[in-house]
Amino acid sequence: MVVGEHSLQPNDQMFAALFERLSKSKFRSRFRLGAKERAYYEQKGADEVANQARQFIKARLAPAQPANDGKQTPMRNHPVFIAQHATATCCRSCLAKWHGIPAGKELIEEEIDYVVRVITQWLKCETTISQRTQISLKSKIKMQKAK
Ligand SMILES: [Zn+2]
Question: How far apart are the CA of 73 and the centre of ligand 1, in A?
Answer: 8
pLDDT of residue 131: 47
Q: At what angle do helices 46-56 and 35-44 cross, to 10 degrees?
A: 110
Q: Which amino acid is at 109?
A: E
pLDDT of residue 71: 97
Question: How far apart are the CA of 143 and the centre of ligand 1, in A?
Answer: 31
CB 80 within 8 A of CB 37: no
- Kindly give, in sequence order, each residue whose CB lies less than 8 Å from that of residue 140, ignoring residues fewer than 6 positions away: none
Residue 7 lies in a domain: no
Residue 4 lies in a domain: no
Which of the 8 DSSP states describes residue 73?
S
- Kindly give, in sequence order, each residue whose CB lies less than 8 Å from that of residue 9, ignoring residues fewer than 6 positions away: 110, 114
Residue 5 lies in a domain: no
CA distance 38 to 31: 13
Residue 120 lies in a domain: yes
Q: How many domains does the structure of the chain reveal?
A: 1
CA distance 47 to 104: 30
pLDDT of residue 7: 65
CB 66 within 8 A of CB 108: no
pLDDT of residue 1: 39
Residue 17 lies in a domain: yes
* Nearest of 126, 66, 121, 124 to residue 90 by alpha carbon: 66
Residue 99 lies in a domain: yes
Question: How far apart are the CA of 41 and the centre of ligand 1, in A?
Answer: 22
Question: How far apart are the CA of 89 and the centre of ligand 1, in A?
Answer: 6
Question: How far apart are the CA of 128 and the centre of ligand 1, in A?
Answer: 25
pLDDT of residue 140: 58
pLDDT of residue 132: 47
Residue 95 lies in a domain: yes
Question: How far apart are the CA of 90 and the centre of ligand 1, in A?
Answer: 4
pLDDT of residue 3: 44
Which residues of the chain have a pLDDT value below 50?
A: 1-4, 131-132, 134
pLDDT of residue 109: 96
Host domain of residue 54:
12-146
Question: How far apart are the CA of 131 and the centre of ligand 1, in A?
Answer: 25
Question: How far apart are the CA of 92 and the centre of ligand 1, in A?
Answer: 7
